[in-house]
Amino acid sequence: MLTHEEFKARNHFEQEDLLGFAYGRLIEDPPEGFCARLPVPPMLMVDRIANITADKSRGTISASRDVRLDDWFFHCHFLGDPVQPGCLGLDGVWQLLGFYCNWRGGIGAGRALGCGEVEFFGQIRPHDGVMRYEVQIKRYAELKKQGASMVIGDAQVLIDDEEIYTIKGARVGLFKGINYPDYPEKSANSRGGKMER
């Protein structure tokens, strides 16, 4: 486990760190309201963060995921023609952007807010090796009055060092008071719908 200050000072994270974060066990002294998580497997689309940096409102993330012959999506997408859904590469970028908000000190639960443009010009197959994300943080901001933080970034997704997707203007925010920790019970946050801006 890491203290919150140690977490914010780290510039790389291994698979066990990301799993610890996903399960809410990486940070031993989370600040009040710190409730963001990465998805747990099989939805977690990142195995390691090789480097994460910040420079004022900008930064970078370099991360990767090993392709596994038995990945769940190869069994259903598509029968007789297995290919990783491109939307999972985009989701991996959103996961990294949400993690970045937490790493910078943001508080709250993470939500993808959209993206400007996505282009797919390649594919990921079961016998490929390593999927890599190269993310450029264009803007990070903490909105203190709203109790939120937001990040906007562009990204390239590569398979075995060959670029296959580009993503522009991906956006993620952290928001206080929207998490639903008492699932599956009915409670104040047990129903979705439009979020206020």
Catalytic residue chosen out of the listed positions 4, 12, 75, 77? 77
Rounded CA separation 138/153 (Å): 5
- Segments of the chain assigned E as strands: 48-55, 58-66, 109-114, 117-120, 130-143, 148-159, 162-175
For the chain, the domains span 4-175
Tens digit of each residue's pLDDT, the chain (197 residues) = 999 999 999 999 999 999 999 999 999 999 998 998 999 999 999 999 999 999 999 999 999 999 999 999 999 999 999 999 999 999 999 999 999 999 999 999 999 999 999 999 999 999 999 999 999 999 999 987 788 999 999 999 999 999 999 999 999 999 998 999 999 999 999 999 988 76
Token pair 């099989």 is at which residue? 42
Rounded CA separation 44/52 (Å): 18
Distance of CA 153 to the CA centre of its chain: 12
Whole-number pLDDT of residue 147:
80
Q: Which neighbouring-strand residues pair with 170?
A: 153
> Do the strands 130-143 and 148-159 form a parallel or antiparallel pair, or are they unpaired?
antiparallel
Rounded CA separation 87/102 (Å): 23
Rounded CA separation 116/58 (Å): 18
To the query of whether residue 77 is one of the catalytic residues in this protein, the response is yes
| Homologous superfamily of domain range 4-175 | Hotdog Thioesterase (3.10.129.10)
- Give the closest residue to 13 by CA, choosing from 37, 49, 38: 49
Peptide bond into 30 cis (omega under 30): no
Torsion over CA of 110, 114, 120 and 122, rounded to 10 degrees? 0
Contact 22, 98 (CB under 8 A): no
pTM: 0.97
Contact 1, 26 (CB under 8 A): yes
Rounded CA separation 136/60 (Å): 5
Whole-number pLDDT of residue 92:
98
The residue count for the chain: 197
